[in-house]
Amino acid sequence: MASNLAEDLLCPICLSIFQEPHLLGCGHNYCLSCIKSLVPAGQGAGSCPECRRPFELQELAANRALGNVAQKVRRLKLDGEPLPAAARDFCEEHEEPLALFCRQDRVLICVVCRDLPCHRGHKFLPIKNAVKYAQWKLKPILRNMENLRKATGDAEAFQLEEMSDMEYFTECTLSHISREFEALHQILREKEESFKKRVQEISERNLQDMQNNVAYLKDEVSSYAEMIASIKASLETTDHMAFLKVRADFYRFT
């Protein structure tokens, strides 16, 4: 119960249990040192880190009741109960609570770090306000991411649809090509058979003519052989009448 109560008694600026809590006119409470750290040097006025309502240092009122409760809870912590996680966030260099967010360097710092030369001229926000500011900055980024996710999803769906159409178109085209080439193959086969048949017919006719020529030449060769044999016989004969008869037949033949 003390731990839950301590969570409600944390200063929104330093995130530690209130030390000398003071009440602003807007109703928000802060440690006195934290409030003074938000007022520019040489000025006596500032604005509430939570609601941005202006205030003057001279108008600050000590919240004694809250201070007493905070002191009692602090004593309970000293008896051994652990502090809440937020109250354990301290600057490693100065061992002070990390109470501010440097907008230029984008780091959490303590009130001592704020006054160092490395942070001179920088702008600071209480952690709670820094979180709100960061969340406010993240909202349009979130919307953009959601729009991009939707646009990417739509593009993916469109691409998948295009892929499906392409696969269907490719299948139809391949089928059409197969049918067309099958028809061409059929025509070529018919042409092939027709050319073969014509060549076969021409070959058969030529072979028949050649065979007739061979038969005719054989007859001629046979006739010449008979004449040669007759001439040789007449040259060897001693019968003059027979010789003249053969010669007369030869002249008549030639």
pLDDT at 243: 67
Say how far apart CA 29 and CA 12 lie, in whole Å.
8
- Is 105 or 74 the better-scoring residue by pLDDT? 105
Rounded CA separation 60/28 (Å): 11
Between CA 30 and CA 18 the distance in angstroms is 7
Domain range list for the chain: 2-135, 142-224
How far apart, in whole angstroms, are the C-alpha atoms of residue 155 and residue 46?
Answer: 52
Percent of the chain topping pLDDT 70: 85
Q: Check residue 246 and give its pLDDT.
A: 59
For residue 215, what pLDDT is reported?
Answer: 92
Q: What digits encode the pLDDT tens for the residues 131-149?
A: 888 888 888 888 888 998 9
Average pLDDT over residues 112-119: 86
| Encoded tokens for 148 | 């991009």
Place 81 in a pLDDT band, splitting at 50, 70 and 90: very low
pLDDT tens per residue across span 195-234 = 999 999 999 999 999 999 999 999 889 988 888 887 887 7
Give the lowest-confidence range in 6-15, 45-54, 206-215. Answer: 6-15
Residues 6+ apart with CB under 8 A from 34: 11, 13, 14, 99, 111
Domain 2-135 indexed as CATH 3.30.1330.200: no
Distance CA 28, CA 19 (A): 14
Residue 124 has pLDDT above 60, yes or no: yes
Which residue bears the tokens 């820094």?
130
Rounded Cα distance between 14 and 89, Å, is 10
pLDDT confidence bin for 91, thresholds 50/70/90:
confident
Positive or negative, the Cα torsion across 79, 85, 87, 88? positive
pLDDT digits (tens, 9 = 90+) for 150-193: 999 999 999 999 999 999 999 999 999 999 999 999 999 999 99
Give the residue-averaged pLDDT of 5-14: 75
Structure tokens at 228: 């040669």
What's the one-letter identity of residue 42?
G
Q: How far is CA 9 from CA 67, 80, 85, 89, in A?
A: 9, 18, 13, 16
Average pLDDT taken over every residue of the chain:
83
What is the residue type of 73? V
Residue 84: pLDDT over 90: no
Banded pLDDT at 249 (limits 50, 70, 90): low
pLDDT, average across residues 16-45? 85
